[in-house]
Amino acid sequence: MSDVNVILVEDDADLRDSLVEMLELSGFYTDGSGSAQEFYQALNTVRFDVAVVDLGLPDQSGLKIVEFLRDKTNMGIIILTARTSLNDRILGYDCGADHFFSKPVDNLELIAAIRNLHSRLVGVQPNMEEALECWRLNKSSWRLACPDGRDVEITSKELVFLDALMQQSNENVTRQYVMDVLGYSHDMYGSRSLDSLIKRLRKKVESTLDIELPIRTVHAVGFCFSAPSHILAIESR
């Protein structure tokens, strides 16, 4: 089973190390990620077959990762969590999980589930190209990451601007709406402030990441973020 690549997303370092060791001894190549940010970065390095995801991560709900994987890839998805309620299980399956296990899980059962998912998915080409083209906005750390994982720090205004566009990727967002969410007045001064913000942001991304920011100006309408995107929301504590 050495041809099976597994990514484990678990913030408890001791448990993560233990599970990685167990899975590798069982013949799986296993990458352990301690946060959602590490997970998204790992997707750029290896083509994974199965993901094992904890729900209680420090920077994003594991359910968001499950939704992302189901939408962007054909990977097998296993939720492994301390949560045991029926509502959590239903939410997990609604988001796209193939299996839902509560901690502590029997190692043999987890191994069997991974093998079963891999066998079922053999011959199905994961749509990882789309995931690798994804820009990611982290609203907790105020950083924008390009598809290869490199990122840049942004200001609060830049964050609000990008959030407004990336919430509706590949769709036109009116200039008036953008000015409203930024709190700019609908006059010459507000318009100039918006244009200056966009110019600075483009320059920052191009000079730092050496890549063009995929924001198109749509004549007489507004703007469009013309690339796949994913937003890591601020977690409620």
pLDDT grade, residue 24 (50/70/90)?
Answer: very high
Domains, the chain, ranges and CATH? 5-130 (3.40.50.2300), 134-232 (1.10.10.10)
Instruction: Write the pLDDT tens digit of every residue in 52-77.
Output: 999 999 999 999 999 999 888 888 99
Cα 210 from Cα 147, distance rounded (Å): 12
Q: What percent of the chain has pLDDT over 70?
A: 92
Cα 152 from Cα 160, distance rounded (Å): 15
Is pLDDT at 237 greater than 70 in this prediction? no
Largest pairwise CA distance in the chain: 66
Instruction: Write the pLDDT tens digit of every residue in 101-138.
Output: 989 888 998 999 998 888 877 644 444 444 456 899 98
What pLDDT was estimated at residue 2? 52
What pLDDT was estimated at residue 1? 41
What pLDDT was estimated at residue 236? 39
